[in-house]
Amino acid sequence: MRIFLLLLHASLVVAPGAALSSEPFPVVVSTWPFVEAVRAAWRVVTAGFSAIDAVVDGCSTCEELRCDGTVGPGGSPDENGETTLDALLMNGSTMEVGAVAAMRFVKDGIKAAKLVMEHTEHTLIVGEMASIFAISMGLHGPSNLSSPESLEKWIRWKRNSCQPNFRKNVIPTNSCGPYYLSDAASTLAKKSLGELGKNFPEYNMLVASKANYIPVGHLYHDTISMAVIDKAGRIAVGTSTNGATFKIPGRVGDGPIAGSSAYADDEVGACGATGDGDIMMRFLPCYQVVESMRRGMEPKLAAADAISRIARKYPNFVGAIFALNKNGVHAGACHGWTFQYSVRTSSMKEVEVFTVEP
């Protein structure tokens, strides 16, 4: 039975659960009802493969299925209409991390992250150089990551004067640019129109447009963040996302940032996150969760605490976290939206989806 516990904040709810089998491992946990991804990871880990292999297979499945249109190719067009990928893989036994960010032309985000982790001394490779690296290491590409759906969404956005968008303190925000620093643009307008220009409608329009920023809502964010504990008790985490819809080209979200979208340490447990990455990456919430559990906090309190730290500074942020300790006990916490996460343990006949209400 699922118990919902209200904690710390009116819009912050935690759903605790536990692997109750006498054999607590393996365990697979994933953000959202990405059931096929969890099934894929479960098949791999129950066949005796490592937590790393299971996370890669689980996240790859989501990329192939284009889960929610926000994982893998074909979703979240940026301002130029292009889809780019962020992904991360972390080995909780060795603390090795591999990640790619804003990767273009290659659809296998999590496999590229694995190549970074296992075949370089680096942690993060970005942009076109990540694509070149991934292709040179054998991944398929260059490929067009757009889809008819992503292009249609982008065309509708262009027709809507590129609203909403992620620009701020620039003018004009109510068009597709080019954008100027608001002060510089006002000065430019004043200069070209003269002091008398204040009486001209163009000047007034330019200044008024400063107030037209439309915040981008939570519908534009999502991520698969997955944690696996394998039969040997080794823990791995991975994430994959195509980021935020209509992001500014080159934008990197929380997905490839270790400690933000995911974190793992065999000695303690793991964490996965989803939501507004631009805000969440400022708090490293998954690092916070794992370190709180290290100091003795239960997963449900650790998850709630990490979320409430963000909510105190950004009351309107939208995000969620799951926490998983090394014994297989899991919990979720969220703010600003209903969160669901999926779990498979050997005590379950099928993947179970836990709901955390705001």
Residues labelled catalytic? 223
Rounded Cα distance between 348 and 255, Å, is 29
What's the min distance (Å) between Cβ of 123 and ligand GLY? 18
R_g over Cα of the chain? 22
Q: How far is the CB of 223 from ligand GLY (least distance, A)?
A: 4
CB of 319 to ligand GLY, least distance (A): 8
Q: How far is the CB of 303 from ligand GLY (least distance, A)?
A: 16
Q: Which is nearer to ligand GLY, 97 or 286 (CB)?
A: 286
- The residues binding ligand GLY (CB under 6 A) are 221, 223, 241, 243-244, 253-255, 274-277
SS (H, E, C) the chain: CCCCEECCCCCCEEEEECCCCCCCCCEEEEEECCHHHHHHHHHHHHCCCCHHHHHHHHHHHHHHHCHHHCCCCCCCCCCCCCCCEEEEEEECCCCCEEEEEEECCCCCHHHHHHHHHHHCCCCEEEHHHHHHHHHHCCCCCCCCCCCHHHHHHHHHHHHCCCCCCCCCCEECCCCCCCCEEHHHHHHHHHHHHCHHHHHCHHHHHHHHHHHHCCCCCHHHCCCEEEEEECCCCCEEEEEEECCCCCCCCCCCCCCCCECCCEEEECCCEEEEEEECHHHHCCCCHHHHHHHHHHCCCCHHHHHHHHHHHHHHHCCCCCEEEEEEECCCCEEEEEECCCEEEEEEECCCCCCEEEEECC
In the complex, minimum distance from the CB of residue 127 to ligand GLY, in angstroms, rounded to a whole number: 15
- CB nearer to ligand GLY: give 119 or 313: 313
Q: Of 141 and 275, which CB lies nearer to ligand GLY in the complex structure? A: 275
Neighbour order of strands in the sheet with 5-6: 5-6, 13-17, 330-335, 319-325, 269-275, 262-265
**Angle 40-112-167 from CA coordinates, rounded to 5°:** 105
User: Of 146 and 347, which has the nearer Cβ to ligand GLY?
Assistant: 146
Q: Please say which residue, 266 or 276, places its beta carbon nearer to ligand GLY.
A: 276
In contact, 65 and 36? CB cutoff 8 Å:
yes
**The two three-digit tokens of residue 15, written as one number:** 């759903």
Asked if omega into 142 is within 30° of 0 (cis), the reply is yes
Nearer to ligand GLY, 57 or 254 (CB): 254
- Indicate the residue among 223 and 292 with the shorter CB distance to ligand GLY: 223
The distance of closest approach from Cβ of residue 9 to ligand GLY in the complex, given in angstroms and rounded to an integer, is 21
Min. distance of Cβ 153 from ligand GLY in angstroms?
16
